[in-house]
Structure 1
Amino acid sequence: MPTNSIASVELPSDMELVLKVIPLPANCNSSGDIFGGWVMAQVDLAGSVIPSRIAQGRIATVAVKEFVFKQPVRLGDVLSFLAAPTRLGRTSVTVRVEVYAERLSTQGKYIKVTEASLTYVAITDQGEPRPLPVQA
């Protein structure tokens, strides 16, 4: 029986599941792995969920401080994107996003494939930074 050298992990309980998605064949490179840029776009979407809620309005991505691809994402993977705020500023929210894959052949077992730290700023309709609402 073949063994997988990558151990499965539990999803973190201190983070919120903000997105779950299955990549499509159009998202693959010629080797059958999912384009890193596609994963980055999904991380940006997932990362924006909590800051949007906190800002109660428009936000913009202003920084990607870290982006680590730990394992390839493959066609057939089910991706779970979990996020948690790590810093609240006057106008900005920094979040940590972790991405876990359930491989097609091992559903219910997760491996971390990507992690990132992104900062979003609350903006006005004119695109200017604005203070975050007071948090209760």
Structure 2
Amino acid sequence: MDPKEDAVDHPRGDSLEEAREDCEPTPEGELTLRLIPTRSETNVHGDISGGWVVAQMDHAAESVASRLAQGRIANVALESVVFMSPIRVGAAVCFYTRLLDIGTSSIRIAIEVWTQNPNEVERRKVVDAVFVYVAIDETGRIRRVPR
């Protein structure tokens, strides 16, 4: 039998494989940081500590904000941090960042954290957050973000 005869027509004209890929959740933003945490980063329950995750999100978002501000910045707010699932030791932890807004002196960055356990294909979104930074000068005073 010809595989083309067995193909299902989809409203957008996608193949079955393309339609299947559209249904799978995918990270939004740019992969900014990828780490594999060790047992030293665990909490008392053996999962990766939320504090460690927040610190890594700050590193990822800070690198983006610093580049956009063309210099020194300071984190002024964690607008939201939502933990959806624990992270197991040995999982690859990927931090995706996306610019939300640039104000006069501030920069808002969305961060998604995704994990992939060893020997598994499936990725899971485990944290969703928004961090806010302001551009500062060498004396620590707020300055404009260059356009």
TM range (shorter): 0.7 to 0.9
2:102 and 2:44 map into 1 onto residues whose CA distance is 41
* Distance (whole Å) between structure 1 residues aligned to residue 66 and residue 136 of structure 2: 10
User: Residue 109 of structure 1: which of 115, 122, 139 is its match?
Assistant: 122
Q: Name the TM-score, length of structure 1 as normaliser.
A: 0.87
Report the TM-score when normalising by structure 2. 0.81
Q: Tell me how far apart the structure 1 counterparts of residues 132 and 27 of structure 2 sit (CA, whole Å).
A: 23
Residue 133 of structure 1 corresponds to which residue in structure 2?
146
**1:55-102 deviation line (CA, Å, top 9, x unaligned):** 010000000110000010110010110001111100010010000000
Residue 59 (structure 1) aligned to one of 67, 73, 95: 73
Alignment match, 1:3? none
Partners in 2 of 1:59 and 1:48 — Cα distance?
8
Q: State the identity as a percent.
A: 38
Higher normalized helix content (fraction of residues): 2
CA distance in 1, matches of 2:44, 2:146: 46
Residue 31, structure 1, aligned to residue 45, structure 2: yes
Q: 1:79 corresponds to which letter in structure 2?
A: V
The answer on whether the counterparts of 1:9 and 1:109 sit within 8 Å (CA) in structure 2 is: no
Q: Which has the higher contact order (CA 8 A, sep 6+)?
A: 1
Ranges in structure 2 where 5+ consecutive residues have no aligned partner: 1-23
Give RMSD over aligned pairs: 1.2
Unpaired runs of at least 5, structure 1: 1-7
How many pairs does the alignment contain? 124
Q: Which runs of 4+ in 1 moved over 2 A?
A: 8-12
